[in-house]
Chain A
Amino acid sequence: MPSKVEGWKDEVYGTDVREHLYRFAEEGWNAIPEDERDAWFERFKWWGLYHQRKGQESYFMMRIGTPNGRLTPEQLRVVGEIADEYARGPVENPEFGGAYCDWTTRQSIQLHWIQLQDVPEIFEKLEANDLSTIQACGDSWRNIVGSPVAGRDAKEHLDAWPVIQELHETFKGNDDYANLPRKWKVAVTGDTRGSGQAEINDLGFEPASKEIDGEERKGFNVTVGGGLSRKEPRFARDIDVFVTPEEVPEVAGGVSALFRDHGDREDRFNARIKFLVDEWGPEKLRRVLQEDYVEFELRSAGDGLREEYTYNAGRNDEIGDYVGVHEQTDGNYFVGLSVLVGRMGAEDVIELADLAEAYGSEMIGLTQRQNVIVADIAEEDLDDFLSEDVLEYYSPDPHPFLRGSIACTGTEFCSLSIVETKNRMVRYARWLKDNVELPDGIDDFHIHLSGCTASCAQPQIADISLRGMKTRKDGEPVEAFDIGLGGGLGENPQFADWVEMRVAADEVPGYIRNLLRIYDEASDGKESFREFIDRHDEDELNGLAEPEETSYEDPYLGNTKMTWYPYAEETEMDASPTPSPADD
């Protein structure tokens, strides 16, 4: 029997949801019939609105999909202004203030505390600037990810931006693909860094070459069925297909139609295409794709470039993450700025947009490491740009503990969460920077912190993987983490081994310090941290270092999910001021 969500989707879904959204915006929160709330919240996701967690009734997270993480400075300013005006809740966040934007691990933008009555105005502002929330959540083509500096980056096999634009135009708002069994995540990588992280997407296009009719052609190898969620991580499987850039839309449409028709609509926990690939194997998937979904004859895979990948690859010789100053193919420069846990105050966003415009930049990029890039800075302006005040905090040359830290949304807003995430990761990173000497050989160190097993912060592909848990300390429940080691992408993608379970959150920084000391003693400075972990087996990694209380203090150790908002003065559920009175 199809799941309940499928029934709701059959009634209304896709572009049609919009008129209802506008009606509710007009009539107010209370106009949503109480017994239809769950159905409408599910449908609103298609238009990028996700209801926030218990205790925050009537407030929504809004996601804006920016293909390739690409915006113009003007668009960035619009986003900052919308955040400033509409993304304000009843209480400020002590770390980030009253209005902020989140740059996400899929190169999108998240705003919080959005109210229904403001949605039409926000949509109008977004759409007047060629931005949209369409399909940013829900069961369809999500934001397409890739290298934001495609066409500018010297480390590029081919420019994938035109391909991504075409996919975006073809599959957004397209009724044939609007209602899939589950989310559909696509990555197209044209660079040699591997920055699209195609390995963890439902459908991936990775740079490759192949001889066709005696001629060396550049294009992509196709992979299917990657994903990290639910303790069931999968790398996308190679289906042995090479496509030229022109062929990408047909094959991408074919694979997503195959998913539409064959994905599991009865059990949402089994719906992602990774499970279909488990069941069928890549050979059958390829065969069905060829027979029923693609008109031309598929070629076998070409030569990939994975050995060159540097993005989240754990290499010592090169860090491919875009942070810092990089020369473009046109002689200008792009400057990657580190944004700790991807969150930037609305005022800073507007200031950065103004600055980018003043320096003649035509492009802003958001990366999967939650950072921001300003492109097109002329060589003669570079020194001035680098000495601008905003770059002191959002640094092009950050400390590795700040540079490598990623965190998801967590108990601040997210229903699934087990623990507090972003504010805690900020405190971890600062404590580590102030208290732990970086061993020789470490220039880059990735800590990915996720609040639950959904794995939005990609915890399984980091040097230190943190996944939200609980434990007891002196009998009292406290927030905790499972700790994993040794994950990453690159030539040999690998998921972390989970080696320390249920470590109280205040003992995690001590664990990392102790582990780095052990690395420092055992390592010759040439071996990267990931290589060091790699040469130990799981047994050796268990108990290699000890969790320990230190001078680090954790203000969120209690159960932040029990609060209506973790940073409020009166935190109890009963103190929640929501749903908000339908004002203006």
Chain B
Amino acid sequence: MPTSVHQLDDGAWLSVNDTRQINVSDLWWLARHDFCSCEMADFLAEGFVDIGVDYPNIEGRIAGQCIECGESGVTDWLTLGRVVDPEAGRFFGVDPGSVHVPVRRRRLALPDE
């Protein structure tokens, strides 16, 4: 079964195989990023902008704001979770509260969007 991922309801959440997996409103710790000038960005996710698959990872760019300094914008690509067993399509989301490193370029199998 191909993994189907998309953002829905105006970017309110990330759906993996038609199950709601990740919400907006979580705080994400970002390290080694150029989103803002904070060493660690304390990033409030307000909307999923782009979603892609880089097996087994599900990647995304999120619109939001660093609540430490107030900078707002869209992050580079973040790993949002992984689909461990593509047949069963089980998804394991990352913990937003742990540390994440956004990356600029990725060759992604973009979903049909």
Contacts and interface: CB of A to CB of B under 8 A. Distances in A.
Q: Do A and B come from one complex?
A: yes
B41 to A, nearest CB: 13
A82 B35 CA distance: 49
Interface in B26-51: 26-27, 42, 44, 46-47, 49
A471 B8 contact: no
B25 A561 contact: yes
Report the contact-size class of chain A (Cβ under 8 Å from the partner).
20 to 34
A472 B42 contact: yes
Interface string B46-60: 110100000000000
A37 B18 CA distance: 6
Interface string A341-364: 000000000000000000000000
Contacts of A3: 113
A3 B51 CA distance: 12
B44 A470 contact: yes
Contact of A470 (B8, B15, B67): B67
A452 B9 CA distance: 13
A35 interface: yes
Contacts of A247: none
B17 A415 contact: no
Interface in A499-515: 501-502
Contacts of B86: none
Given A38-B18, A42-B8, A559 B46 contact: no
B70 A502 contact: yes
A22 B26 CA distance: 36
A469 interface: yes
Interface string A1-42: 101100100000000000000000000000000111110011
A525 interface: no
Given A54-B20, A269-B11, A4 B44 contact: no
Contact of B27 (A416, A452, A477): A477
Contact of A453 (B4, B27, B46): B46
A470 B49 CA distance: 20
Given A38-B8, A559-B25, A7 B112 contact: yes
B24 A416 contact: yes
B70 A415 contact: no
A502 B44 CA distance: 11
B2 to A, nearest CB: 10
B6 interface: yes
A35 B25 contact: no
Interface residues of B, number: 30
Interface string A445-474: 000000011100000000000000111100
B6 A38 contact: yes
B97 to A, nearest CB: 9
Contacts of A168: none
A417 B47 CA distance: 10
Contacts of B47: 416
B20 A34 contact: no
Contacts of B23: 53-54, 415, 561
A268 B67 contact: no
Contacts of A53: 12, 23
A116 interface: no
A418 interface: yes
Nearest to B44: A470
Contacts of A231: 72
A34 B46 contact: no
A470 B45 CA distance: 10
Given A452-B46, A472-B42, A35 B4 contact: yes
Contacts of A559: 25
B9 A469 contact: no
A312 B39 CA distance: 43
B35 to A, nearest CB: 16
A4 B112 contact: yes
B18 A34 contact: yes
Nearest to A33: B18
A42 B6 CA distance: 12
B45 to A, nearest CB: 9
Contacts of B26: 561
A559 B67 CA distance: 15
A503 to B, nearest CB: 12
Contacts of A41: 8
Nearest to B70: A501
A54 B49 CA distance: 19
B10 interface: yes
Contacts of A4: 6, 111-113
Nearest to B111: A4
B13 interface: yes
B10 A54 contact: no
A559 B97 CA distance: 13
B83 to A, nearest CB: 14
A556 B47 CA distance: 22
B13 A418 contact: no
Contacts of B25: 411, 417-418, 470, 559, 561
A505 to B, nearest CB: 13
B67 A418 contact: no
A416 B12 contact: yes
Nearest to B11: A269
Contacts of B72: 231
B79 to A, nearest CB: 20
Nearest to A419: B25
Contacts of B10: 268-269, 416, 454
Contacts of A37: 18-19
Given A38-B6, A54-B23, A470-B25, 20 more contacts: A7-B112, A34-B18, A35-B17, A36-B18, A37-B19, A38-B15, A53-B12, A269-B11, A269-B49, A415-B12, A416-B10, A416-B11, A416-B47, A418-B25, A453-B46, A454-B10, A469-B65, A472-B42, A472-B67, A477-B27
10 contacts: A36-B18, A231-B72, A269-B11, A415-B12, A415-B13, A416-B9, A418-B24, A418-B25, A418-B44, A452-B24
Closest CB pairs A-B (n = 5): A415-B12, A561-B25, A416-B12, A37-B18, A4-B113
